[in-house]
Structure 1
Amino acid sequence: MLEFKHVTKNYKDGQPAVNDLNLKIGKGEFVCFIGPSGCGKTTTMKMVNLLIDITEGSILIDDRDITDQDPVELRRSIGYVIQQIGLMPHMTIKENIVLVGTLLKWTEEWKDRRAKELLQLVNMPETYLDKYPHELSGGQQQRIGVLRALAANPPLILMDEPFGALDPITRDSLQEEFKKLQKDLNKTIVFVTHDMDEALKLADKVVIMREGEVVQADSPDEILRNPADDFVEEFIGKDRLIQGRPDVTTVEQIMGGSPVTIETSETLKAAISKMREKRVDSLLTVDSNNVLKGYIDVEMINLSYKKASYVHEVMDSEVFSVLKDSKLRDTMHKMLRRGAKYVPVVDNSARIVGIVTRATLADMVYDTIWGEGLEIDDPVATKE
């Protein structure tokens, strides 16, 4: 789909920003470029849509050399998302989403339909189409930036640190949304980041660069298990969980199988009874098909007991969950950032299949640092 053949970009003084880059990216592949500042990752991406000229070599999209194409037409056929978002402040959200469509002379009917379709992809209501960028949060604006890149249905999307300016929790949420979107739509993504956790979480292939050259291009797990050299090992960080326990990589491998749940149609009395029976202070709420709907705790019931009778009247529907094939290291980082005591694990239909607790993660960390079964001397006993 995208191929770099002996691609070089030289500065005016002759120094290479990118030197003899050879790389193939397949259709539907998510590739992250990462490396120290000045390593050539952003230069590489900008050469793909001719924002930066190529000094030597060639870049092919579907076996066609990009320099044989009109630069304007080329850019319109490639999605592009940047950290600064770049929404037009005087345009409505609809007008921003279908900006490329306007340039391509789409009908008003088609622009309206396409904007509504795209909003549905990120679960935003149609009422947002008439809003202006300043009326949206940073995370919502970045979602619109992504949708604008998808509007003309391009096979290739370039993304330059698109989530870098967001707070950690919003960033986590957007990463999850975008990865799912990419899988569903089968888009080819070239993604530049300075965040190794982001690269390991999102990418099918991570390309690590140094001084304009590729040091290693492999799957995240392969890079973590077999770093190419000392530079890669130092760059990814020796504290990555998978290095200590390469046999455990996903949530499914360590989750517990019996989270305590209650159906949303149950009464608050039933919820209190179950909490007492199970000796817990909160319950995950589900529908009759075991689909996760939220959670309820003692404090919620205490505050609403005289005004409500049923679980669905009191519960909080904002609950953090992860898919069972989620990377363990990502889940651990999210739990620590949120201060969460546990996280429910769901399948692709949002049905609860397990739970991960801080205690489980603590056991993993202990095993990683000290090894299983290692006896630790008691300092008091040692002194005696």
Structure 2
Amino acid sequence: MLEFNNVTKRYADGTPAVKNLDLKIEKGEFVCFIGPSGCGKTTTMKMVNRLIDITDGDIRFDDKSIKDQNPVELRRSIGYVIQQIGLMPHMTIKENIVLVGTLLKWPKEKKEQRARELLKLVDMPEEYLDKYPHELSGGQQQRIGVLRALASNPPLILMDEPFGALDPITRDSLQEEFKKLQKELDKTIVFVTHDMDEALKLADRVVIMRDGEVVQADTPDEILRNPANEFVEEFLGKDRLIQGRPDVTTVGQIMGGCPVTVKTGTTLKEAISTMKDKHVDSLLVVNSDHTLKGFIDIESINLNYKKANHVEEVMEADIFSVDEGSLLRDTVHKILRRGIKYVPVVNEAHQLTGIVTRATLANLVYDTIWGDGMELDEVAATAE
């Protein structure tokens, strides 16, 4: 799909930005480039769409040398998303999304249909098509930036720190959304970031660079288990959660399997009875296929008991959940950032499969610090 063959970039003064880079990226692969400032990661990405010219070597895209392709046509065939988003302020959201289609002289009907299709991918209502960028939040604008890159259905998308300017919670949400989108659409992604957590969360492979050279290119799991050298260890950070428990990396490995649930159609009276029997103050709501629909708690029932009959009428549908394959470290950060007690765990079909609680994560941290099987009371006894 994309091959770097002995690629070197030197600037006019002879300073090498990238040195003898050899790398092959497969179709549908998500590859993150990361490293210290000035390591050559952004230069590497910009050579792909010829925003920066190669000095030596070659880059092949779909088995064709990029040197043999018209730079303008090449760029129109590759999606490109940047941190600054770059939406045209005088254009509507629809016009921004299909900007490449306009340049390719698509008919009006095709542009309108494509804009509507793409907006559905990120669950934004069609009325947003007639809005202007300044009427959208930062997260919504960045979604439109991603959709614009997808408009011409390119096989390859380049992304240069696209979520770097967003607040942490919006950033978390967009990362989850984009990773799911990438899997659904089977796009090849080259992603540049300075955030190791982001790289480990999103990438199929992480390429760590230093002084223009690749230090390690591996799966996130392999890098965390077997860093290539001391530089990689320090760049990862020795305080990362899984260092003490290299066997535990994902939510699915530690989740509890029996969250307390009620089905849609359950009456509020029955829900209260379930809470009482199970000694809980909230319930997860699922449908007949066990798809997670939301949650209810004592407060929501109390506020609506006289004007509602069933749980789906009062439940909170906007519930934060994580996939079974989510990294533990990300889940820890999200629980702490949001101040929540637990996170439901779902599979790819959004069916509820388990739950991760603060207590579960705390026990894992204790194991990391004090060793497997050592209970807090044993630690206290030893201290005495």
Bin of the TM-score, shorter chain as denominator length? over 0.9
Give 5+ residue unaligned stretches, structure 1.
none
Q: Per the alignment, in what secondary structure is the counterpart of residue 379 of structure 2?
A: coil
- One-letter identity of the residue aligned with 2:359: A
Residue matched to 1:90? 90
SS at match of 1:270: helix
In 2: Cα distance, 1:289 partner to 1:5 partner? 49
Shift of 1:239: 1.8
- In 2, the alpha carbon distance for the partners of 1:274 and 1:373 equals 33
1:316-375: CA deviation from partner (whole Å, max 9, x where unpaired): 111011122222222222112111111111122222111111111111111111111345
Superposition pairs for residues 324-363 of structure 1, below 5 Å? Answer: 324-363=324-363
One-letter amino acid of the structure 1 residue matched with residue 293 of structure 2: K
Q: For residues 274 and 9 of structure 1, what CA distance do their matches in structure 2 show? A: 65
SS in structure 2 at match of 1:51: coil
Residue in 1 aligned with 2:259? Answer: 259
Matches within 5 A, 1:303-314: 303-314=303-314
In structure 2, the residue matched to 1:134 is: 134
SS in 2 for 1:376: helix
When residues 364 and 379 of structure 1 are mapped into structure 2, their CA distance, relative to the original with a 3 A threshold, is closer
| 1:208-357 equivalence runs, <5 A | 208-357=208-357
Stretches of 4+ aligned residues off by more than 6 angstroms: none
Note if 1:33 corresponds to 2:7: no
Q: Deviations over 1:121-146 (max 9, x none)?
A: 11112121111111111111111100
SS in 2 for 1:354: strand
Cross-structure match for 1:183: 183
Deviation track 1:13-58 (CA, whole Å, cap 9, x = no partner) reads 2111111111111111110000011111111111111111111111
Query: Secondary structure in 2 aligned to 1:158?
Result: strand
> For residues 106-145 of structure 1, what are the structure 2 equivalents within 5 Å?
106-145=106-145
Which moved further from structure 2: 208-217 or 280-289?
A: 280-289
SS of alignment partner, residue 79 of structure 1: strand
Instruction: For 1:223, give the aligned amino acid.
Output: I
Question: In structure 2, how many angstroms separate the alpha carbons of the residues matched to 1:380 and 1:294?
Answer: 44
SS at match of 1:206: strand
SS of match in other structure, 1:262: strand
**Could you list the per-position Cα deviations for residues 165-209 of structure 1 after superposition, in whole angstroms to 9, with x for gaps in the alignment?**
111111111111111111111111100000000000110110001
Provide, for residues 261-281 of structure 1, a one-character-per-residue CA deviation record: whole Å limited to 9, x for no partner: 112322222221111111111
One-letter identity of the residue aligned with 2:117: E
Quote the Cα distance in structure 1 between the aligned partners of 2:179 and 2:23. 22
* Paired letter, 1:181: L
Q: 1:106 to 1:304 in 2, by over 3 A?
A: same
Q: Give secondary structure in 2 for the equivalent of 1:3.
A: strand
The 2-side partners of 1:125 and 1:258 are apart by 35
- Report how far residue 307 of structure 1 moved: 2.5
Residue of structure 1 in register with 2:17 after alignment: 17
- Rounded to whole Å, the distance in 1 between the matches of 2:380 and 2:145 is 55
Structure 1 residue corresponding to 2:379, chosen from 373, 376, 380: 376
- 2:155 aligns with 155
Q: Greater shift after overlay, 238-247 or 127-136?
A: 238-247
Provide, for residues 147-166 of structure 1, a one-character-per-residue CA deviation record: whole Å limited to 9, x for no partner: 10011111110000000111
Shift, 1:377, TM fit:
5.0
Q: Which has the larger displacement, 73-82 or 302-311? A: 302-311
Give, as a single letter, the amino acid of the residue that structure 2 aligns with 1:13.
D
Letter in 1 for 2:71: P
Residue 222 of structure 2 aligns to which amino acid in structure 1? E
Structure 1 residues 280 and 56, CA, compared in 2 at 3 Å: closer, same or farther? Answer: same
Deviation at 1:91, TM superposition (A): 0.8
Partner AA of 2:28 in structure 1 = G
Secondary structure at 1:91's aligned position in 2? coil
For these two proteins, the number of residue pairs brought into alignment is 381
Q: Supply the AA of the counterpart residue of 1:322.
A: V
Percent identity of paired positions between Structure 1 and Structure 2 = 77
Cα shift at 1:259: 0.6
Q: Distance in 2 between matches of 1:380 and 1:85?
A: 55
Letter in 2 for 1:96: N
